[in-house]
Structures are given as C-alpha cells and as structure tokens.
Amino acid sequence: MTDGTGALLVGARRRGQDSASGAARRARGTRPLAAVAAVFTLAQLLLVRPVLGLGWDEIVYVSQVTSHHPAAFFSAPRSRGVSLLVAPVASWSSSTVLLRVYLALLSGLALYLALRAWRGLFPTRVLVTAGAFFASLWVTLFYGPQAMPNYWVAIGALIAVGCFLRHRADGSGRGALWGVVAGAALMAWMRPTDAVWVTAPLFVLALAQRHWRLLLALVGGLVAGGAEWVIEAYAGFGGLAERLAEASRIQGGLGWQIAVDDQLRSLGGRALCRPCTGSMPHPVITLWWFVLPLLAVLGLIVAVRSRRTLPTLLPLACATTAALPYLFMIGYAAPRFLQPAYALLALPVADALWHLVRTPRGRWRPAVTALVALGLAGHLAVQLTVLVHTVDRNIDSRRDWARTADALHRLGVRPPCLITGHEAIPIGYYTGCSSGSTAGNNENTTVGEILSTADRIPVATLTGPGGTPPRYARPWPVHRISDLEVRIAPAPRTDGSG
C-alpha cells in the first residue's frame, strides 16, 4: 500500500514537472512573437507619430461615433466595424493623439495574437520572420494606428486561416474552432466582401473534406460579423442586392479591369490612386513586390518536399483570392487593399528565406545568408524611406485642412454650420460642420435643402483650383483661402423682412 502511494506521488510529481516544463516552453515560444509586436507598436508611435491628423476615410468612420462632430455621409461599401473599434476612445474624446496611441497599442496586440494562432504550424523563427516582414512594410506601419479597416481584415485572415489549420490537425480542442469564428467575424465586421474572398479556399477545403464543424464556424463567423451590414442594406439601401450594386457603382463598376499597374504606382506612398496616372515609382521601390510571390512559391516547393504542404498552400491560396478583386476587378488602387494578401504571403516567404540560409541539417550557408541579410536590409531601408515621405506628406495635407478650418472660423463659419463642395467631408470635420454633396459618390442632400439650411446656420461652398462653383452659390460673397474659393451664404435676416 505504501509502495502504491509512493508511486502515485512520484507520478503526480512527474506530471507536475512535465506541465511546468511545457508551460516554460510555451512561454519561450511566445516571447519572440511578443517582442515583434512590441517593436511594431513602438515603430508606429515613433515613425507615424500620433500628431498625424485624421484622413478623409478616417473622418467618415470616426464621425459616426463622436459627440464632437456631425456624422459624415456613410456610403454603401463601408462597414461599421472601424467605427465600433474606435468607439471606446472616440465616443468621449476628440483627441487624435489619444486615438492614435490606442490604435497603435491595439494593432500591436492584434499582431501578437494573430501570430500565436500559427504556433505549431511553423517554427517560431518562421513566425517571427513573417511577423517582422509584414510589420515592417510601410503600408502596415502607416495604417496600423489609423482608423481604417484593411489592417484588421489582415489580422482576421491570419487568425482564421491559422486556427482553421490547427483545428483540422487536432479537432479535439475547441479553442482553434472559436479562433476561426473570431477571425471570420473580424474580417466581416470590417469589410464583408473581403471576408468572402479570403475565406473562399477555406470553404472549398471544408466542403471537400466534410469538416462540418469548420464549415459551421466559418459561416457563423461571417454571419456574426456581417449581420449588421446586411441589416443596414435592407434598412437604408433597399436590400442586399441594391447595396452591392451601389457599392459597385461607387467603386467604378466591378468587373474585369487590370489594376496591377495601378497598385505598382501606389507603392510609392500614394494613399489612393484614383485616377491612377503618372509615372511608376523607382524600380528599387517596387522590386520587393515582384520578389514576394517568387519567394512564396519557393516556400510552397519547400513545403511540398517536406510533406507539410497544406500549412503553406492554404495561406497562399487565401492570399491569392484576397488579392484578385483588387488586382483584376477595380479600376483604381490603394496600397492598403492588399494588406490581407501581404500578411498571408509573409508565412511562406519567411519559410523560404529560412530554407535559403540554412541546410536541412541546420547548418548556415554563409554566402547566401549574407546576400539575404543584405537584401532584407535594403528592403527595410526602402520601406522606411517611403514611410517617412508618406507621413510627412499626409501631415502637411491634413494641416492644410486644419488651416482652412481656422480661416473659415474667422469668416464666421462656426458650428453649427454646413460645408459643401470641394473636400467638404474633411474640411467640414476640421471646421466642426456638417458636410453635404448634391452629386457624386457622397450625395446626401439637395440644392433646396442647402438653401433652406442657409436660412438657419452658416453655409459655405468650397471650389477647388480650376473648379466651377455651383449655380446656387454664385451670388454669394467670395473669399479666398489658399487656393480655394469660398462662397459663404449671406447671414439670415433677423428683422422679419423678406
């Protein structure tokens, strides 16, 4: 009996030691991922800088939840995910600096969680390299602390695909299954159509192999994230088909359109390339874009030879479907559109890089290692150079909006007020006014409503360089603010005469 008790105690002690050593190994495996996320957060705060004012699209999203500014027009393609993401800060504070710090911290935490979803599928060194590669892209650093949806679609894609593979490999646990739900919901919450494109290969694989739990998790995540967008389609756009058609119209009509060259032009730091004209950036700036798919294919070849094909093939397939609509279905470009593809491609690319610098037995290849290190250093230098120029240019343009707002205040245009015409949405936000448009993608009012509003509050119409003022505003007094013509409606009469 004593021997039996001793054996039980020894067994319990060994199990406790095994559990402790396993926890220690897990901690060691996650620390490098946490370090990558921490450096990413710090780089955002130092390089992008919290003083960067809100951009046009950010204004639309943030204004939906603030109590400090009127809500800007919310067009059909947009989803409320970003507005809800920023609500914990924007709902009570008008501080852009506080919002930037909040988003930088949140994006760093999200990157850490997304990389953790891939533990066990790739070695830690590959995950660290993939995270560092994705986080060091200028487009990732620039948009990480901004109120924009594409980075969060990328994070959702990493979580959904990684957890899908983990649950497929070991279906006994429910954690990975809930990760699939969370990743799919996050993508659909931010951009429902992007979520469908990213998850298409996951649906195909789940159906082909009859993984019903994974299929249910994908459907549940997409429904949970996209339900609000669908409900809003019926409440405000006449139905889902009508909202999709309106979104297509705003985006120039979805269909066969080659936008590869547009994406290349945007790599020089253009936030939106529409219309996408002008010369291509220097080849040094675009070189990485051509090397990226080549390294991803090499990663796939390595995986096939090592008989671990699926963990590389599936993110490669999801990256391809995520990129397809933005490369071949719209007539303009923005570098942020491809963030989900970059995040998923980073994994096979990192695997390929490690294959290049180390032999299957783990020995270093000195000459190749030096070449790869030199290439990565040059790539990082190019990304940081583009980032610095992009940040500086955007700080200047957003300060221009603020200066225009100050000038409008001096002319008597103060809240409550209405701004129409050239760049009405951003200038209206910086001025504290509502914004209105009688035509175009942001049409939300009529001439009659504008004139009626002018009887109650200040109304200003802005005309950009070379533009023509609207007919209803031509009799109004004209002022110049920088290169803008500003026509301000006469103040309403208060003597009762008409």
CB 312 within 8 A of CB 350: no
**pLDDT one-digit tens code per residue, 352-384:** 999 999 988 889 999 999 999 999 999 999 999
- Output the pLDDT for position 498: 42
- Sequence-ordered list of residues with C-beta below 8 angstroms from that of 444, at least 6 positions apart, any chain: 73, 436, 437
- Pull the structure tokens for residue 399: 């300060």
- Output the pLDDT for position 224: 97
| Residues pairing with 162 in the sheet | none
pLDDT < 70 stretches in the chain: 1-27, 493-498
Tell me how far the alpha carbon of residue 124 is from its chain's centroid.
25
Residue 153 and residue 194: Cα distance in Å, rounded? 8
**3-state class of 441 per DSSP?**
coil
* Of the candidates 490, 452, 451, the residue with the CA atom closest to the CA atom of residue 470: 451
Q: What is the CA radius of gyration of the chain?
A: 26
Quick one: CA torsion of 89, 90, 94, 99, rounded to 10 degrees?
60
- Pull the structure tokens for residue 288: 């990485």
CB 311 within 8 A of CB 121: yes
Q: How far apart are the first and last CA of the chain?
A: 108
- Output the pLDDT for position 133: 97
Give, in order, the Cα–Cα distances in Å from 17 to each of 6, 9, 12, 13. 16, 12, 9, 6
- Output the pLDDT for position 15: 53
Token pair 């000195």 is at which residue? 366
DSSP symbols for 416-435: S-EEEETTHHHHHHHHT-EE
Domain ranges of the chain: 28-394, 398-488
**3-state class of 484 per DSSP?**
strand
- Output the pLDDT for position 162: 97
Pairing of strands 459-463, 418-421: parallel
The amino acid occupying position 126 is: V
**pLDDT one-digit tens code per residue, 239-269:** 999 999 999 999 888 889 999 999 999 999 9
**pLDDT one-digit tens code per residue, 427-467:** 999 999 999 999 999 999 999 999 999 999 999 999 999 99
